[in-house]
Amino acid sequence: MPKIKKVKKIKITKKIKQKKIAIKKAKPLNKVKTLNEPKAQAPLKLVNKNTYTPEEKIEIKKIKKQATEKRLYEVKDFVVYPKHGVGKIVSVEKATIGQIDIQFYKIFVEKEKLTLTVPINQQSNLRPISTINQINKCISILKTKPKIKRTMWSRRAQEYDQKINSGKIYELAEVVKDLNKNSDIIADQSYSERQLFEKAYERLKSEFEAVLKISPEEVQKKMDKALGRNQIISEEA
């Protein structure tokens, strides 16, 4: 019989090395950040007049100051409102609108029997009446020959109406000159031409009266003489 070898029992010992785990102590937090807490912005340091840090420049919008009116009109002053002609300031009054105190002129337009209310802060729409020198220049304009225009009447009528409502006395005199019935260019006037002529003529006449301080009849004679209307009327008579 074969010999049976004895198996020696080998004890296997596992050496377990214990690892030392170094536990680092956490540093105490001075501040606890919250999710919604906004980040503090660094203070701005003035470097130059227009340079700030951080690099972003701060745009400062300049607010335009409202232009102050150079002149305040007084009661009894004559002024010209472009769309209505010469008027006289009869009073300066105050009113409260929307908790705001507003001063305004009361202007009476004799030719139209109309009273206008114009706020003082809108007096740029007004102009003072003309001087003697400007009136004399208007008379010189009335003596010149009218301009020949070949454009359609509808377009010319629009231009004339704009000049009448511009409030400029020289343009007013040009309309009167160009639409003068007794010119050698226009033999007869249509209804619309006559309406524009009379409107411009009366506006100019009222300013002549206010500046020259003479009667309406004397002003009419002076204007008609410059236009050559007196000569034509006497010939027709």
Question: What residues does each domain of the chain span?
Answer: 78-128, 132-236
Q: Give the chain's mean pLDDT.
A: 76
Identify the pLDDT of residue 39: 57
Q: Tell me the whole-structure pTM to 2 decimals.
A: 0.64
Instruction: Name the more confident of 200 and 19.
Output: 200
- The C-alpha angle with vertex 67 and arms to 66 and 69, in degrees rounded to 5, equals 130
> What strand order describes the sheet that includes 100-109?
114-119, 100-109, 85-97, 78-81, 127-128
For the record, the structure tokens of 83 come out as 């769309």
CA dihedral 207, 230, 171, 217 (to 10 degrees): 10
Residue 138 has pLDDT above 50, yes or no: yes
Residue 183: what are its φ and ψ, rounded to 5°? -75, 160
Identify the pLDDT of residue 31: 52
Neighbours of 14 (CB within 10 A): 5
Identify the pLDDT of residue 43: 55
Chain-centre distance for alpha carbon 63: 16
Q: What is the mean pLDDT of residues 63-69?
A: 40
The CATH code belonging to domain 132-236 is: 1.20.58.1290
Instruction: Name the more confident of 4 and 148.
Output: 148
Q: What is the mean pLDDT of residues 55-79?
A: 60
Q: Distance between CA atoms of 30 and 90, rounded to whole angstroms?
A: 78
Structure confidence by residue, pLDDT tens digits, 172-192: 999 999 998 764 444 566 888
Identify the pLDDT of residue 231: 52
For the record, the structure tokens of 40 come out as 């503090």
Q: Which of 19-23, 36-40, 159-163, 201-205 has the lowest mean pLDDT?
A: 19-23
Distance (Å) of CA 126 to CA 94, 115, 121, 200:
19, 14, 11, 18
Identify the pLDDT of residue 150: 79
Q: Could you tell me the pLDDT band of residue 72, with boundaries at 50, 70 and 90?
A: confident
Instruction: Name the more confident of 167 and 150.
Output: 167
Cβ pair 80, 126 in contact under 8 A = yes
Instruction: Name the more confident of 153 and 20.
Output: 153
Q: What is the mean pLDDT of residues 187-215?
A: 90
Instruction: Name the more confident of 107 and 15.
Output: 107
Q: Distance between CA atoms of 147 and 177, rounded to whole angstroms?
A: 9
Q: To the nearest whole percent, how much of the chain has pLDDT over 70?
A: 63
Q: What is the mean pLDDT of residues 88-99?
A: 89
Decide if domain 78-128 falls under CATH 2.60.130.10.
no
